[in-house]
Amino acid sequence: MMPGNSEFGRRVLAAVRRIPAGRVATYGDIAALAGKPRAARAVGNIMRTCGEPGVPCHRVIGAGGSLGGYGGNLQVKRELLRAEGVEVGMRRVRGFEQVRWRPTPHNRRSSVR
């Protein structure tokens, strides 16, 4: 049932958990963080079955800022994002590139490169 049992699955959930409020990430981004940049589709599948608290699956959207899906409750997903300060249009997130979450690198020789 829960795909989170797999290595890939748990990594995906972990990545999604790391997304801070007010920020969003694409399925592809999560997939990349999980180690498989081409597994965006698989990530969507995992999100679909995810039912775990602490996993802000509503912060995961499609590439280009498309809302993606939310188990038929897309409206809810939209409101949730707005509540966090994310401007969401009818079909796309406004300023997507600006609210897009950037994973924090572990070691950075300089804060700014």
Partner DNA sequence: TGGTTGACGGTGG
Partner DNA sequence: TCCACCGCCAACC
Active site residue 50: no
CB of 76 to DNA, least distance (A): 10
Q: Which residues contact 93 (CB under 8 A, 6 or more apart)?
A: 24, 61, 65, 66, 67, 81, 86, 87, 99
Between 57 and 113, CB nearer to DNA: 57
- Of residues 64-93, which lie at the interface with DNA (CB under 7 A)? 64, 66, 68-71, 77, 91
Which of 15, 23, 27, 88 lies at the binding interface for DNA (CB under 7 A)?
27
CB of 55 to DNA, least distance (A): 9
Is residue 47 near DNA by the rule CB under 7 A? yes
Which of 11, 24, 26, 80 lies at the binding interface for DNA (CB under 7 A)?
26
User: 24 and 96 in contact (C-beta within 8 Å)?
Assistant: yes
Q: Which residues contact 68 (CB under 8 A, 6 or more apart)?
A: 27, 44, 60, 61, 62, 77
Using a 10 angstrom Cβ sphere, with 0-12 exposed, 13-18 middle and 19 or more buried, the burial of residue 72 is exposed
If we measure between CA atoms, which residue out of 74, 79, 50 comes closest to residue 62?
Answer: 74
Q: Which residues have a catalytic role annotated? A: 57
- Name the site residues for DNA (rule: CB under 7 A): 1-3, 5-6, 8-9, 26-28, 36, 38-50, 57-58, 60, 62-64, 66, 68-71, 77, 91
